[in-house]
Structure 1
Amino acid sequence: MGCARVVIAATAVALAVWAQWTGANAVLDRGLTGDLEEVIKKDSFIVSLKDIKPRKRSRETLFAVDFPGAEHKFMLLIERKTSQVIVETFEDGRKRVQHFTVDTLHDDSHIKSLILAVNQTHPGAHATLYIDCISYGMVALPKTLRDMFSSMRDPNLEVFHEKKYPVEINGHRDVRIVLSKNGCPLPLYSDVDRKYDHMYKEDLVRSNDLMGHDPNIQAQQPDMPYRGDIPLVHRIDDVGILEALNNLIKVVNLEVRRCEASQRALEDLKRMLEECDVCRPRQVVLPSCATHPPRCFPGVECQDTPQGPRCGSCPRGYLGDGNTCTPGRTCAENPCFPGVECYDTPTGARCGPCPRGYEGNGETCRRKDPCQHNPCAPGTRCTPIEEHPYYMCSGCPAGLTGNGSHCVDIDECDLIQPCDPRVRCENLNPGYRCHPCPPGFKPSGSEQGIGIMEAGVRHRCIDIDECAEYRPCVEHTDCINNEGSYYCSACHTGYIGNQTVGCHRGENYCPNGEQCDRMARCISLGYGAYACQCMTGWAGNGMHCALDSDLDGWADTQLPCSDERCKADNCPHTPNSGQEDADGDGIGNVCDPDADNDGILHGDNCPLHPNPDQLDSEREGGDKVGDVCDNCPYDKNPLQSDIDKDGKGDACDEDIDNDGIYNNEDNCPTASKTKALTSFLTLLKEVLPQCFNLK
C-alpha cells in the first residue's frame, strides 16, 4: 500500500488575494495539487498533518483547497483561543462554517498528528477528525470536494497549506493504517483471519474429495477445530483391518496436508506481521491526571509525574501538600525584605533580622532617610542609595555647574559669548540675556537662555532689507539696501521729481528715458529700442536740433554736443551731405570758390588738388587734366579711365587689366585672367603635387 504525496499546482488566482483568505504563511503546493486531483473523485481520501507546533497567531490555516473560476473553497483551520478545529467551505459562494471542539487544544498545545478522513459517498457524506489518535467526531459535507470539482466546466484546483507542516493525502489506504502510521495502537487487521478461514475451507473441500464422502467420517464444519476421527469398524477381519488402515492412512495424509497448510498460513501471517506496522502491541496506558485524577485542594493543578498523577503546590496564601491546604504564607511568596533570610515553619513563613543599616521586622526594612537634612544643592534631587554616603545628588540645574552638592552659576556671556557682537550680553543667575539689536537689524535666535546648550544656539542681529520688506522708495527710483539702513536713488532717466512728490515722466522723453529736443520726435527702432529724430528742416543728434536750411542733414550751426551730427554744415545753403572739404578750410567743396586753395578760382584743371602752375604735360597736347591729378600725365586720358584701379590710367598702363600679361600680348587686355589661372593651378597642384616638386 503506497502513500501518495500531493502538492497543488499554481493557477492564475493572485497570491495576494489568496493570502488574505488562507493566511500569510499558507503556500501553494504544486505536487499536492496533482495528488489531490488523482483521488478527489474517489469515495474517500485522508488528509494527514504532523508536528503542529504552537505559533504566535492563535488562528492558523492548516489546509485549503481553491477551485479557480468557481465559487467553491474548502479550508481546515485551528483556533487555539476557542479550542476548535474549523471546517470552512464556500459552496456556490455561500459560506458554511462547522467546527470540532478539542478540549486539549490551547495556545501552547503541540499536536503530533492531525488526520481528517473524508467520506464523499451520498447520502451521509462527512469528514471525521483524529487528533493524536483520538477521534473528535464528524461534520457533514452536503457538498463534497468531489461535487465542487465535478461541477466546474473546466475542472481544476489548487492546494495551499502551512509551509512548516508536512501534509499527506492518501486515497488508497484504510484510515486504521494511516492512524497506525502516525503511532496510534490498533487491533490486528481482520483480513488475516479471513485469509486463514479461506485456506481452511479449501482444505475441507479437498479432504471430502479424498475421503469419498465416507459416512463413517464425521463431517467437519468451518467453525469446528481441526482434527481427524478414526472410523468405526463393525466387523473385525482382515479385509476390515486393511480397509481401516487405508482409511487411517488417508486421514493421516489429510492431517499432514492440513498441517502444511497451517504452516504456510502461519508463515504468511508472520510475513504480514513483519511487513505491517499496524500490528504492533498496544501502548501501555499509564495512569494520568486525565484518567486517575487525585483529589487536590481547590485551585491546585494535577501534575503527571513518572510516579503517576500528583497534586501541585498549594495556592498562594496556603500551606500544605496540595491535597490538604490551610491558610498561611510560605517563603515561595518572598514575604521578606530583599537580603533577609526566610524560614518555612508549620505556622508559616518567618523572616530573619533586617540587614545591617536597616530597621524593621524583617518583612519591612527601611534605612533612615539620608536626604531629610537636604544635603544637595537647591534645584537638585536627592536619591537614597545603598553605599556610603547613602545618598546621591542629581546634576546641577541648567546654567549652573558643580557636583550636585554644591552648584555655582555659569557665566555664559564670558564662556560662550552667545550674543551678537553689536549688542551687550548680560549674565544672569542662572542664564543670560542679550540686549536689543540696533535699528535696522532684527534678532535671530533666542535673546535669552539658560546653560551652555542654549547658549550654543547663538543670538545674531540680521540686517533688515528695508527695500525688500517695506519698499520705501517711490516708483521710478532705485532702493539700495546697506547694513542697518537704505537709501533711494534719484529719478530714473526720463523722469523728474523726488521722494516727496514722486517721479514723473518729463516732456519729450522716449520710453527708454532718453530726452529729445523740442524740435525732435521719439521713434521706435524695434525690439524695445527707441531714438530721438530731428524734424524735417532741422538736423542734429535728436537730443539737440538746429535749423537745416539746405536740407542735407547737417545743422546750419554747431550744436552743444560731441556727436558727428552736432557739427555745423560747411555749406549751410548748398546741399552737400558728404561735407567734403579738400583744402580743409572749413568751407565745403561745393561752395568753396577755390576748393584746393591754390589761388585758381575758375577753370582750375585740378579743382581738388592745389596746382597753381596748372601744368598739363601730354605730348599730343593737354587733355585739360592737370598733372597733379592726371593718372596719365603724359598721355591724353581726359576720362581718367583706370580699369584695374592701380592709380595708373589705361592710356599709359602696360597691363590695363593687371593680369600680368602686357596689353600687346593679351588677347583680352581689359579683362583679367589671372584669378582664373591661379585657381586652376592651385587645384592642379593639390591633385598632382609631384608635378610641381620636379626641378
Structure 2
Amino acid sequence: MGKSGAISKEMKRNIRALETETQFSDLKLRVEAISARQDTFKSRIESHQSTLILVATASRQILQSVANTTKKVNELQEWRQNKTVKDGENCEEDIDECAIYEGTHAGCQNNATCENHDTGFRCICDWGYKVSDDKLNPTCVDVDECLDNPCHPGVDCINLPGKFQCTGCPKGYHGNGQICADIDECAAEIYPCSTIPHVPCFNTIGSFHCGDCPAGYHGDGRSCTKRSACDGAPCHPTATCVDDQTSLNPGGYTCLCPAGCGAHFAESVGNLTFPDNGEMPPEQQCDFVISTGEENSVRLYRESSSKCGFNGQS
C-alpha cells in the first residue's frame, strides 16, 4: 500500500504539471493574439491620426485664408469709410467721392454717371452697361445683348461696347435687322410678273411666285412669249416664215422664198407666174427660176442652186 500510494501521488503531480503547461501554452497563444490585434489597432489609429492631421492642417489654412480675407475686407471698408465719411471736426462736411475718384480705376467707368451721397457714391450706368458683381469695386461693364437674341430670326447679332448691331434682313424682307417684315413683291412699284399678257402674282413669306402664262403663250410667268405658227420651222430651209393669220396655209403662216427663188403655189415674181401646185408641202415650195425674157414663154427648171436648196434636180 505504501508503494502504490507513492506512485499515485507522483502521477497526480505529473498530471497537474501537464495541465499547468497546457494552460500556459493556451494563455501564451491568447496573449500573442491580443498582441497582434493591438498592432492592427495601432496601425489603424496611426492612419486615422495622419488623416486627422491633414484635415486639421487644411482647416487651419482655410480659416487663416478666411481671416486674411476678412481682414482685407475690413481694411478696405475702413479705408472707404475714412474716404467717404463727412469731414470736419464733427464730421459735418460731406466728401464728394465722385470728384476724388474721377478718372481713376476706383471711380465709375465707361461713361457712367457718378452720384454722390452721404455714405459714399454709386455709379449709374449708361445704356448697354450694368454694374459689375465686384462688391469691393463696383463699376459699369458692358452688357452682351446678343445673349438674349434681340435680332430677327436668321439675322446675326454683333455685340459692341455699350450696344449691339443686327446684320441685314434676309432676302425678301425689309427692316433694321432687329425687326424684319416681309416684302410684298406683288404690290411693288415694278410688277414682277408679266403684264402683257397679264399673269397673276402670289406673295409668299420672303418671296413670291408668278402664275402660268395664258394659252397661246409660253414662259415662266415673269415673262411670256406668244407662241408662233412658225415654231417648228414649217417652211423650206431657205424660206423665211412669217406669222400671217390671213395666209392660205391652215397654220396661219406664210413662207417667203429668197430672191431668185419661187413658190409652187400661184405667185407672181415680176413678169413670171408660177403654176399652182398647192399639194406640195411648204418645205419643198421654193424652186430656182430661169426666165427666157419672152412674155408668156416661161420655162421652170429645178436646177442646182445652193440658194434655193436643190442639188441638180431638173
TM-score range, shorter chain: 0.3 to 0.5
Which has the larger strand fraction?
A: 1
Using the size of structure 2 for normalisation, the TM-score is: 0.35
Calculate the TM-score normalised by the size of structure 1: 0.19
Computing the radius of gyration from Cα coordinates, the structure with the larger value is 1
